[in-house]
Structure 1
């Protein structure tokens, strides 16, 4: 397991990026649940964010690729719009406990 952050460091409707063993990942909190994905767009294999910790669209309802505009469902990582429609982000197992948010490895 790899510790990512304290629970209160990822607010509702927010996203945050992390580096774990040279792998870029990001977390999103929606409806109280944390979703964790590899920070790699399936379209070109590049990072999704254009600024640190910015992985969501302006409404904070979808994950957005800042480079090509692809949009992904937070709950599943499925691309619903853009050049990689139908493809998915790589989901990662995470755990949230009294100590914080963890990547399960």
Structure 2
């Protein structure tokens, strides 16, 4: 597993989401996003399980209007923030791919397979 810096903990506001490109060009870049809910950070690969496309149309816009669920901008599928499980839409029953998050004094890191 490789550890990749995302941001400082305080740079991700409560109830917000943010997208990141991590990795290096030689090993390939990975697109991930993080959501802070109730002080905890949840991270997932930025890939919709239905179409294999990015979830957002606008940068850092991964949540529905109430900021209660992750939403695919292409077809409106809704996912639980804490589990990544799709609860509505064409991929109901599928789930986003979680990415482990590590908290350090420096900030937030994600752990990705080599």
Q: TM-score, normalised by structure 2?
A: 0.90
Which aligned pairs between 1:13-92 and structure 2 lie closer than 5 A?
A: 13-21=15-23, 22-92=29-99
Gaps of at least 5 residues in structure 1 are none
Counterpart of 1:3 in structure 2 is: 5
Q: Deviations over 1:33-73 (max 9, x none)?
A: 00000000000000000100000000000000000000000
Gaps of at least 5 residues in structure 2 are 24-28
1:27, 1:37 within 8 Å by CA — same for their partners in 2?
A: yes
Q: TM-score, normalised by structure 1?
A: 0.97
RMSD: 0.7
Equivalent residue of 1:8, what SS? helix
Question: Higher Cα Rg: structure 1 or 2?
Answer: 2
Post-superposition offset of 1:96: 1.7
Distance in 1 between residues matched to 2:103 and 2:17, nearest whole Å: 15
Runs of 4 or more, structure 1, over 4 Å off, are none
